[in-house]
Every structure is written in structure tokens, then in C-alpha cells.
Amino acid sequence: MSTVVELPVDLFKGPIEPDWCPGCGDYGVLKSVQQAAAICGVQPKDLLIVSGIGCSSNLPGFMHAYGIHSLHGRSVPVATGAHLANTDLKVVMTGGDGDGYGIGVGHFIHAMRRNLNLTYVVMDNQIYGLTTGQCSPTTTVGHRTKSTPEGNMERPINPLALAIVAGATYVARGFSGEQKHLADIIAGGIAHKGFALIDVFSPCVTYNKVNTYPWFKERVYKLEETDWNPSDAGRSLQKAFEWGDKIPLGVLYKSDQLTYEDSEPAFEQGPLVKQKLGLESKLFAELIEEMV
């Protein structure tokens, strides 16, 4: 087993300062992602951050690593393609609840059932922040927003329960108000072999006046401070529905299972980008010419 050498956090700080609203929870998430990469000893040249569209999806621009700011709801397929082309890369997806659990939920489910070796950090502020405060897939019932002035009538999606049922093998929840704890959770997801979801309470201080820092601080507790065992999928699924006066943080479910990459013969000779195409240069040039 190779030895992990922790790196300086500043190594992952990008040249551009974040421009989120003062107090936005995404600042804490950015710091936690940087710390997690440092804890895991991943060099910037071996790290790819992929995002979709939204306030939180600006995160790759604030990291010193490879980054792709993709299309709305499409971070998962873009990340999947990059990862399968070069399985030596550590690929982390970052985005919001609207991007991941709304327009992107189909990709989200299929990546989990394949148990792809990817890490998905979702900044869940329970509102559409970028478009100024409409109802999102995780907005609670009765919440008054610009799009639901009489109160939200739709039940919110439960991303943790969905992830467990769909096949994710590392399912966790963090809170940007517990930044060091969150960094450890994300580091665990990056180190895990298989699909890791980290749903993060990341308060929107501008448009969500209900699910605020004080609101969460009064309710959240850490699973590792209890006798919790994350290996039982059935109990983990029940825990995913715990909501109200007590809300759990930490790793709800973790399982070591065969990944998609382990089952695909194409990867037996190593990453695809490092394998020979098996084409003569003349044929390769003709194919390129035909496609251009």
C-alpha cells in the first residue's frame, strides 16, 4: 500500500478570488475541497474539478487544478468521460442542488448505479441562488420563495436516500459551518474507491432566510460521536430520513464494492489515454481528415 503524503493546502489555492456573496456557505466548501485534496496527497496535475451551472459551479475557477465549467446539469457525464479516458486522474464534481438534483438527476442516478470512481460534492442551499431565489428540488414544503409565494407544495427530494438506493457506495452529509469536519468527509470520499456523494448544507445568505447557519447549528450532530456503523444499507437508508430537531452529519453509508472500472476489460492495460490506438499513422490521418 502506497504512503499518502499530505500536501500544503495553499498548493490548491487558485489565482482568482471567489466572488460569492459575503457569508455564502460555498466559501467553506471551497476551503474544504482544497483541504481534502491536500489530506489525500493528490497533486494538482492529477486532480480534475468538473462543475455544471450555478453559483457553486464557479468553484473550479478558484482551485489550482485542472477544471471544467460544463453545461447545466451535465457535470456528471463530462466528469465520467474525462475519468474513463484517464483513470489515473482524481475527478471531483462540484455543483448545487438545482444542477445535480434537478436537471442533472438522470445522470446522477446512472453514475451511481455504475459505481464509477467519482466524487460528487453538492452544495445544497435548498434554493436557486443564481436565479435569485426560486424553489429548488430540495426546498422544504411550505417554504415561501419567488416561485412559491404561497408556500412550496412539492415534497423535496432526499439525495442521501436516493444515492443509497441507486448504488452509491459512499454517502455522506456535511455542513459548511463545520468546515474541518467537512474536509475530512470529502477526503474520505476522494480516497474511497467507488461513487461518493457528499451532500453539503451550504446556506444561501441572500435568498434563503429559513435554512440559515443558526438553523442548522441548532440541529446538526456528528454521527462519529455516536455508535453509528455505516455498513448497513438498510439502517443507513432509515438514517437518511432523519430530519427535524436532529439532523445527522457524517458518513451515512460506506461499502466496498466492485466498480465499473474493475469490470471493464478495456482498462486492463491501464488508462485509455496511455494505450496505443492500434492504428497506422496513415489511417489515423485519414480518419481525422474525414471528421474535420
**CATH code: domain of residue 47:** 3.40.50.970
**What share of the chain in percent tops pLDDT 70?**
99
Work out the pLDDT band at 18, boundaries 50, 70, 90. Answer: very high
Q: Are 177 and 29 in contact (CB under 8 A)?
A: no
The reply to whether 4 falls in a domain is: no
Q: For every residue of 225-242, which 3-state class applies, written as one string?
A: HCCCCCCCHHHHHHHHCC
For residue 2, what pLDDT is reported?
62
Task: Check whether 1 has a pLDDT greater than 60.
Answer: no
The reply to whether 1 falls in a domain is: no
Q: Are 117 and 195 in contact (CB under 8 A)?
A: yes
What are the tens digits of pLDDT across the range 215-241?
999 999 999 999 999 999 999 999 999
Measured between alpha carbons, how far is 80 from 117 in angstroms, rounded to an integer? 9
Task: Check whether 280 has a pLDDT greater than 90.
Answer: no
Element (H, E) at 28: helix 26-40
Residue type, 182: L
Q: Which residue has the cell 491536500?
A: 38
Q: Which three cell numbers stand for residue 150?
A: 404561497
The reply to whether 3 falls in a domain is: no
Q: Are 54 and 99 in contact (CB under 8 A)?
A: yes
Dihedral sign of CA atoms 99, 123, 48, 266 in order: negative
pTM of the model: 0.94
The reply to whether 152 falls in a domain is: yes
Q: How many residues does the chain have?
A: 292
The reply to whether 157 falls in a domain is: yes
> What domain count does the chain have?
1
Please state the rounded mean pLDDT for residues 247-255: 98
The reply to whether 267 falls in a domain is: yes
Q: Which three cell numbers stand for residue 234?
A: 438498510
The residue range of the domain holding 144 is: 9-291
Helix 105-113 crosses helix 159-166 at what angle (to 10 degrees)?
A: 40
Residue type, 222: K
Tally Cβ neighbours within 10 Å of residue 59. Answer: 28
Q: Quote the radius of gyration of the chain (alpha carbons, Å).
A: 20
Q: What is the mean pLDDT of the chain?
A: 95
Q: Which three cell numbers stand for residue 240?
A: 437518511
The reply to whether 197 falls in a domain is: yes
Q: Which three cell numbers stand for residue 196?
A: 461518493
What are the tens digits of pLDDT across the range 157-208?
999 999 999 999 999 999 999 999 999 999 999 999 999 999 999 999 999 9
Of the CA atoms within 13 Å of residue 148, those in its CB half-sphere come to 19
Q: Are 236 and 171 in contact (CB under 8 A)?
A: yes
Please state the rounded mean pLDDT for residues 275-285: 85
The reply to whether 114 falls in a domain is: yes
- Start-to-end CA distance of the chain, whole Å, equals 45
